[in-house]
């Protein structure tokens, strides 16, 4: 599995795809725990916690198994995590971002661009 992930991240598009998958797994895993804590009882709660644990474990494997300099990709990752977390909040919980979240998100995206475009300089 490590070899396959290393081949994927060797290409810019592959690294971006894996970062997007990792960001989704982290945001979705967090949303499972939120559902388990605040929106579920009994067996549903246990299923939500198990889903969150599996999703977060898969996230950990996705970002730690390949040989890449994750710190250099952190700006892109934070942007992807923010965007996917907003999508999941909207789809799973019906939460619309307030203006302050949109403005702050604009700063997150701008910061991610600055970090990504200045890597190696």
DSSP 3-state assignment of 120?
coil
7/102 Cα distance (integer angstroms): 35
How much is the pLDDT for 81?
A: 96
**What is the pTM for the complete model shown?**
0.88
- The pLDDT of residue 31: 97
Is residue 101 within 8 Å of residue 86, measured between CB atoms?
Answer: yes
Is the backbone of residue 42 left (phi > 0), alpha (psi -120 to 50) or beta? left
Mean pLDDT of 102-119: 89
pLDDT for 119: 60
Cα separation, 2 vs 115, whole angstroms: 27
Q: What tens digit of pLDDT does each residue of 35-93 get? A: 999 999 999 999 999 999 999 999 999 999 998 887 778 888 999 999 999 999 999 99
pLDDT number for residue 72: 75
d(CA 89, CA 66): 29
Which of 58, 92, 108 is closest to 50 using CA atoms? 58
């Amino acid at each position: 599995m490590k070899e396959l992930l290393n081949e994927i991240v060797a290409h810019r598009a592959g690294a971006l795809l894996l970062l997007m998958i990792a960001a989704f797994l982290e945001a979705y895993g967090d949303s499972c725990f939120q559902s388990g804590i605040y929106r579920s009882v009994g067996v549903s709660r246990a299923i939500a916690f198990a889903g969150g644990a599996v999703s977060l474990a898969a996230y950990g494997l996705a970002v730690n198994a390949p040989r890449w300099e994750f710190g250099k990709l952190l700006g892109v990752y934070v942007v992807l995590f923010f965007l996917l977390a907003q999508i999941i909040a909207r789809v799973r919980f019906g939460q619309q971002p307030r203006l302050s979240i949109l403005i702050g998100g604009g700063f997150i995206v701008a910061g991610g661009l600055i970090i990504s475009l200045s890597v190696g300089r």
